[in-house]
Amino acid sequence: MWPLGAFSIAVVALAIYNITVLRRGEFCPPPLVETLRRQMGEFQLRNAVEDARASPAYLGRMLARSLPAMDPNDAETLGREQVHETISEFAERTNGQSTSGSSSVMIERMLITVDDRGAIELNGRVLRPRPGEGLIPELAERLRRYQSVARLSGTEPQVLIQCAEAAAEQRFIDVLGACRRAEIDRISILD
């Protein structure tokens, strides 16, 4: 009978231990959550990933792997499906396995197309100018976001430019200038 009593005490002790260890603060510490919310709200993706990597918490490790999967070229969803897939892979690896190592997310090259009228497309999506600013500031901002996400994922940002023959030369030079401002060095020109 005493073995049954000892076993019962051990089970209760284990339950109490798990309750104290597996608190919400251990999974997502409030200071980390507050910092990441602020950084994401201010579009400071690089800082958010660095802070997440520095945290030993589950949330930090998960975001360190999933945030680089964001796609700045997809203005509507920001690559929600790819981020979701990365989080799922992280959860599968975490169940009983170590999470050390770096992200294996590869960011695709960006294709910029300039048509005969000078309109610009990013990966098949027509770029809409901001009122009063024109296309180039919007292009430069998207290229900066692309460059940040690519570098965070360990991928060298690459841009392919396809310019119609009838397009104004100045528009092509504007696109090259936007790439330069975004610090993207790997540029290929398609015929």
Is pTM beyond 0.75? Reply is no
90 and 123 belong to one structural domain? no
Q: What is the pLDDT of residue 112?
A: 92
Residue 105 within a domain: no
> Do residues 92 and 142 touch, judged by C-beta distance below 8 A?
no
Q: Would you state the structure tokens that stand for residue 155, as one six-digit string?
A: 């991928």
Asked whether residue 103 is assigned to any structural domain, the reply reads no
Domain that holds residue 36: 2-94
Mean of the pLDDT values across residues 160-165? 90
What's the mean pLDDT when you consider all of the chain?
76
- Are residues 88 and 118 part of one domain? no
* pLDDT confidence of residue 102: 44
For the chain, percent of residues with pLDDT exceeding 70: 73
- Asked if residue 100 is part of any domain, the answer here is no
- Whether 104 maps to a domain, the answer reads no
Higher-pLDDT residue of 69, 164 = 164
CA distance 180 to 35: 31
Residue 190 has what DSSP assignment? E
**Is 163:125 a contact under the CB 8 Å cutoff?**
no
Mean pLDDT of 34-38: 83
In a domain, residue 101? The reply is no
Q: Per-residue pLDDT averaged across 71-87, rounded?
A: 73
Sign, CA torsion 119/139/158/171: positive
Same domain, 152 and 89: no
Q: What pLDDT does 161 receive?
A: 92
Q: How far apart are CA 172 and CA 113, in angstroms?
A: 10
Extract the runs of DSSP E, i.e. beta strands, from the chain: 110-114, 120-122, 125-126, 158-163, 186-190
Tell me which of 147 and 153 has the higher pLDDT. Answer: 147
- What does DSSP say about strands 120-122 and 110-114: parallel, antiparallel, or unpaired? antiparallel
Same domain flag for 132 and 84 = no
Residue 156's pLDDT band (boundaries 50, 70, 90)?
confident
Mean pLDDT over 55-62 rounds to 76
Q: Where is the domain boundary, 49, 64, 94?
A: 94
